[in-house]
Amino acid sequence: MRAVKKYTSFFRLRFSMGLQYRAAALAGVVTQFAWGFMEIMVFRAFYEADASAFPMTFSATVSYVWLQQAFLAFFMAWMMENEIFDAIVNGDVAYELCRPVDIYWMWFSRSAANRLSRAVLRCFPILIVAGFLPAAYRMEAPAGAAEFFLFLLTLVLGLLVTVAFCMLIYVLAFYTVSAQGLRILFVSCVEFLSGAVIPLPFFPDRMRMVMELLPFASMQNVPLRVYSGDLMGAALWRAAGLQLFWLAALTLAGKLLCRRAVKRVAVQGG
Amino acid sequence: MKRGLKLYGHYISITVRSMMQYKVSFLLTAVGQFLVSFNVFLGIFFLFQRFSNVKGFSYSEVLLCFSIMLLEFSLAEMYARGFDMFPNLVRRGEFDRIMVRPRSPILQVLGSRFELTRIGRMLQAVVMFVYGISVSGVNWTFGKVMTVVFMLIGGSALFTGLFLIYASLSFFTLEGLEFMNVFTDGAREYGKYPVNVYGKRMLQFCTFIVPYALVQYYPLLYLLGRVDSPAYIFIPLLAVLFLVPCYGLWRFGVRHYQSAGS
Amino acid sequence: MITMEHICKSYKVAKRDAGFKEACKALLHRDYEMISALSDVSFEIGDGEMVGYIGPNGAGKSSTIKILSGILTPDSGTCLVNGRVPWKDRIRHVRDIGVVFGQRSQLWWDVPVIDSFELLKDIYSIPDSIYQSNMEELTERLSLSELIRTPARQLSLGQRMRCEIAASLIHSPDVLFLDEPTIGLDAVSKLAVRDFILKQNEIHKTTVILTTHDMQDIEALTKRIILIGKGKILMDGTLEDIRRGDRNIDETVAELYRSYGI
């Protein structure tokens, strides 16, 4: 519980810091807008080429793009904590292990707080302005109240799955020679398989069915589509169920490996 | 001029030797570079599984466009990385050291970093380029080969100019710089499709303001045989002129640094 | 010969207050204030002199050194170093000065020190014969022969500082600026460095300007002391002028600062 309190004050500090650097904040938001615009223009060009081959409604795709930008900090795999990697690589982790806090949950809540604080600063300006754009680019309201509620729920689940996966990578770094290699490999995979490069519905059907079973599809893919109603009914419940499953599986795996790694470090002396 | 080039060569040699101390890290970064642009390629690949063309360009034609643009960007990133990393240099106070040396600051900044790891991206680009050529059925003439060479020259000059702007801005503010990424990384990301995909106004912007179209779209039309006039061969070289205002901004930035301190 | 006459310099600094509410306010409006770093600074230093430039933190020491090295342009006043205006004739001026920043390194980290020296030879366009003879002399006087094939990364602080000093003298400058050269060094290294600087001044008549908080450095090396506080020159005299009986030199200086209210 103390960890939670520590991380609310960490969150507040980061938020303050974010506000201080107003030029950075503004530049960041404008940058994300530019990326969002370009992305939508690409989709529009493809839509105009062949609307019948488009697997989502265009407005659902627009919502996907804006939500992806707004909540970038939640799901982007490359946004990992360098400090944690450094601590593992150069042995400083020994200090962290001396403290009477569970290291797995400490790093978990720290990562989550970090992503949350970064996203909160950006998501409101982006979503608000995106709601007022001209029709072709405008972000529509959620498909309904139920959809909105489910969106929020799956959003939180998606964040937790992302953090749990990152935790697994941190823990694996204890076992590998090169944390950098591990990171590079996984970041590319996650980016592609989670729907960050192109949304999963655009993939060929058989490939998509496999991808949807992987943990990566439980990150941003679910909430960003639930919002616009692109994912609903039985498929939605299945996806949410998978999110819960992967959250449990990744956390369990991470905790177990972490415990073993801690024992190893204690024996070897870091 | 000759001494400047010799000094630049010396810088490259010392940078590469430094990097060879960290062979594993170098290799991994290069592989990472390759994977990242491979992801982008996969994005194009899967989109074209569904759609046969976009704004009149087929899959192989888009590959050609993307690969040339990626080569342009990676070349610039490789030798002009010093400007990309410049805000760090200023933040660490090392620009003072540069000012205390009797050589052009630009030469020294260029020499401060030679990013050989970009070879990962360049490899990806070359593979796609070869594939794109073999499938696109382009009729290769001497003029077309020169067009590609000029695209690489003009394109890397353009991106170098953008990096130079980014570096110059860091004399004034270290905070609001993220926006410049739109013009560099953004161009690399969205330059995979010919600029006309983004509409007429974007095409105008990319012709007259930041001349991406001069090193991508127009010469591409010539390569694909959609226009005949040999004037198109030389259009990419016009993009080199973009360096002039960028250099002006840099000089302005250095003067500002000299009067405002750090 | 170094002359500074009525040099003035102010900086515009953004006011930033702590706290959440202040941070929100800063989003909309920024307050600036003008801070005067140097007011009416004048002094003259002859060839071959060794001068200690002391003062509390924020007194204006680094601004003065930056102006003398040509990095900073003053708001008003004149300055001549060997007949040149440092910031106007920067490249030629900088060829004749050497600078050692105590806390920052000019050596490339991962390659042998000798490689950094050879790069400097190229940067300063030093003829082979002069480079050879300077290297022999510096290697001998600073005992570098075992060190120069080692990467800077692997040297101890004392060893590195000796290499830094050598690096700043390879091009035979007339004037040497030393900024905290002995900071963090053990007693043996400090003595070695001080010894070397004395000899350098004796043999080559290099003008030395030393800014440091280490009063033993000042005692060992300089006869003349210039005291700066809050941007003004408060005293230009000798160590004897400020010594009070057999009080410890640090206490003497602290008392001095107090008496001037700085």
DSSP assignment string, C103-138: TS--S-SSSBHHHHHHHHHHHTT--HHHHHHHHHHH
Rounded to whole angstroms, the Cα distance separating B77 from A238 reads 45
**Contacts of range A256-262, beta carbons closer than 8 Å, 24 or more positions apart:** A257/A168, A257/A171, A257/A172, A257/A174, A257/A175, A258/A103, A258/A104, A258/A167, A258/A171, A258/A174, A259/A104, A261/A171, A261/A174, A261/A175, A262/A97, A262/A103
Rounded to whole angstroms, the Cα distance separating B152 from B53 reads 25
Beta-bridge mates of residue C208: C50, C176
* Torsions phi, psi for A57 (to 5 deg): -70, 155
| Nearest Cα to Cα of residue B183 among B207, B159, B201, B204 | B159
Give the mean pLDDT of A25-51. 89
Contact B186 A34 (CB under 8 A): yes
Please tell me what DSSP assigns to residue C32.
Answer: E
Between B208 and A92, where is the model more confident? Answer: B208
Chains in touch with B (3+ beta-carbon pairs under 8 Å) read A, C
CA–CA distance from C84 to each of A102, C68, C88 (Å)? 65, 10, 8
Token pair listed for C4: 């500074």
**Residues near B29 by Cβ (< 8 Å), separated by ≥ 6?**
A180, A184, B117, B120
Task: Establish if B117 touches chain A: CB-CB under 8 angstroms.
Answer: no
Token pair listed for A56: 């989502």
The alpha carbon of residue B125 is apart from the nearest alpha carbon of chain A, in Å, by: 17
CA–CA distance from B62 to each of A118, B58, B135 (Å)? 35, 6, 11
Chain mean pLDDT for chain B? 90
Please tell me what DSSP assigns to residue C86.
Answer: T
Residue of A nearest to C17 (CA): A20
A195 touches A217 (CB < 8 A): yes
Domain that holds residue B251: 2-16+53-255
CA–CA distance from B159 to each of A38, A95, A213, B154, B229 (Å)? 19, 45, 41, 9, 26
Residue of C nearest to B260 (CA): C11
B184 touches B131 (CB < 8 A): no
User: Quick one: what percent of chain C has pLDDT higher than 90?
Assistant: 64
Exposed / middle / buried, residue C214 (Cβ in 10 Å: 0-12, 13-18, 19+):
buried
Record the pTM: 0.88
pLDDT of residue C44: 95
| Nearest Cα to Cα of residue B46 among A230, A208, A69 | A208
Residue B79 domain-assigned (yes or no) = yes
* DSSP-derived 3-state class of residue C42: strand
Sheet holding C50-54, edge to edge: C97-101, C175-179, C207-211, C50-54, C224-229, C232-238
Give the mean pLDDT of B87-102. 90
Give the mean pLDDT of B115-130. 89
Return the axis-axis angle of helices A145-175 and A179-193, rounded to nearest 10°: 160
pLDDT of residue A270: 45
C interface with B, Cβ–Cβ < 8 A, is 11-12, 63, 66, 69-73, 87, 90-92, 94-95, 97, 99, 101, 104, 106, 108-111, 115-116, 118-119, 122-125, 151
pLDDT of residue C172: 94
Residue A270 domain-assigned (yes or no) = no
Residue B22 domain-assigned (yes or no) = no
Has residue A14 got a pLDDT over 70?
Answer: no
Give the mean pLDDT of B247-251. 96
C108 touches B18 (CB < 8 A): yes
Residue A128 domain-assigned (yes or no) = yes
pLDDT of residue A139: 85
Contact B54 A46 (CB under 8 A): yes
Name the region of A248 (left: φ>0; alpha: ψ -120 to 50; beta: rest).
alpha
pLDDT of residue B155: 95
pLDDT of residue A185: 85
Token pair listed for C40: 């009416």
Please tell me what DSSP assigns to residue C152.
Answer: G
Domain that holds residue A181: 2-264
**Residues near C151 by Cβ (< 8 Å), separated by ≥ 6?**
B21, C109, C110, C111, C112, C113
Rounded to whole angstroms, the Cα distance separating B209 from B248 reads 16
Residue of B nearest to C98 (CA): B100
CA–CA distance from C167 to each of B147, C160, C161 (Å)? 47, 10, 10
- Can you give the three-state secondary structure of chain B, one letter per residue? CHHHHHHHHHHHHHHHHHHHHHHHHHHHHHHHHHHHHHHHHHHHHHHHHHCCEECCEEHHHHHHHHHHHHHHHHHHHHHCHHHHCHHHHHHCCCHHHHHCCCCCHHHHHHHCCCCHHHHHHHHHHHHHHHHHHHHHCCCCCHHHHHHHHHHHHHHHHHHHHHHHHHHHHCCCCCCHHHHHHHHHHHHHHHCCCCHHHHCHHHHHHHHHCCCHHHHCHHHHHHHCCCCCCCHHHHHHHHHHHHHHHHHHHHHHHHHHHHHHCC
Using a CB-CB cut-off of 8 Å, the residues of chain B touching A28 are 178-179
Rounded to whole angstroms, the Cα distance separating C225 from C14 reads 34
Rounded to whole angstroms, the Cα distance separating B40 from B25 reads 23
Query: Total structural domains in chain B?
Result: 1
pLDDT of residue A103: 82
Give the distance from CA A235 to its chain's centroid.
21
Q: How does pLDDT run across B164-196, given as a tens digit for each residue?
A: 999 999 998 877 688 888 899 989 989 999 998
Residue of A nearest to B186 (CA): A35
Task: Establish if C20 touches chain A: CB-CB under 8 angstroms.
Answer: yes
Query: Total structural domains in chain A?
Result: 1
Rounded to whole angstroms, the Cα distance separating A27 from B86 reads 18
Residue of C nearest to B7 (CA): C122
Per-residue pLDDT band for B25 (boundaries 50, 70, 90) equals confident
Rounded to whole angstroms, the Cα distance separating A221 from A162 reads 11
Using a CB-CB cut-off of 8 Å, the residues of chain C touching A28 are none
Q: Which residues of B32-45 are buried (b: 16+ CB within 10 A; e: fewer)?
A: bbbbbbbbbbebbe
| Nearest Cα to Cα of residue A148 among A50, A210, A232 | A232
- The lowest-confidence range among A183-187, A236-240, C125-129, C240-244 is C240-244
Angle at B27 between CA B23 and CA B31, to 5 degrees: 170
Residue B213 domain-assigned (yes or no) = yes
Contact A12 C27 (CB under 8 A): no
Give the mean pLDDT of B108-134. 89
Give the mean pLDDT of B124-148. 87
For every residue of C203-252, DSSP letters joined together read HH--EEEEE-S-HHHHHHH-SEEEEEETTEEEEEEEHHHH--TT--HHHH
Residue B21 domain-assigned (yes or no) = no
Per-residue pLDDT band for A97 (boundaries 50, 70, 90) equals confident
* Torsions phi, psi for A131 (to 5 deg): -75, -15
Using a CB-CB cut-off of 8 Å, the residues of chain A touching C26 are 19-20, 22
Q: How does pLDDT run across B195-246, given as a tens digit for each residue?
A: 989 889 899 999 999 999 999 999 999 998 888 888 999 999 999 999 999 9
Rounded to whole angstroms, the Cα distance separating A223 from A153 reads 8
Q: Which residues of B62-90 are buried (b: 16+ CB within 10 A; e: fewer)?
A: bbbbbbbbbbbbbbbbbbbbbbbebbebb
pLDDT of residue A20: 61
Q: How does pLDDT run across B35-66, given as a tens digit for each residue?
A: 988 999 999 999 999 998 888 899 989 999 99
The DSSP H or E segment spanning C4 is: strand C2-14
Task: Establish if B49 touches chain A: CB-CB under 8 angstroms.
Answer: yes
At residue A10, what is the residue type?
Answer: F
Rounded to whole angstroms, the Cα distance separating A224 from A231 reads 9
Contact A191 B39 (CB under 8 A): yes
Name the region of C205 (left: φ>0; alpha: ψ -120 to 50; beta: rest).
left
Largest CA distance in chain B: 59
Q: How does pLDDT run across A62-84, given as a tens digit for each residue?
A: 999 999 999 998 988 777 777 77
Contact A22 C27 (CB under 8 A): yes
Rounded to whole angstroms, the Cα distance separating C32 from C11 reads 10
User: Quick one: what percent of chain A has pLDDT higher than 90?
Assistant: 37
The DSSP H or E segment spanning C34 is: strand C32-45
Residue A6 domain-assigned (yes or no) = yes
Token pair listed for C104: 């920052």
pLDDT tens for the 262 residues of chain C, in order = 999 999 999 988 877 666 666 666 665 666 778 889 999 999 999 999 999 999 988 888 989 999 999 999 999 999 999 999 999 999 999 999 999 987 888 999 999 999 999 999 999 999 999 999 999 999 999 999 999 999 999 999 999 999 999 999 999 999 999 998 988 898 888 999 999 999 999 999 999 999 998 888 998 999 899 999 999 999 899 888 877 767 788 888 888 888 888 7
Half-sphere exposure of C139 (CA within 13 A, CB side): 14
| Nearest Cα to Cα of residue A174 among A55, A260, A65, A45 | A260
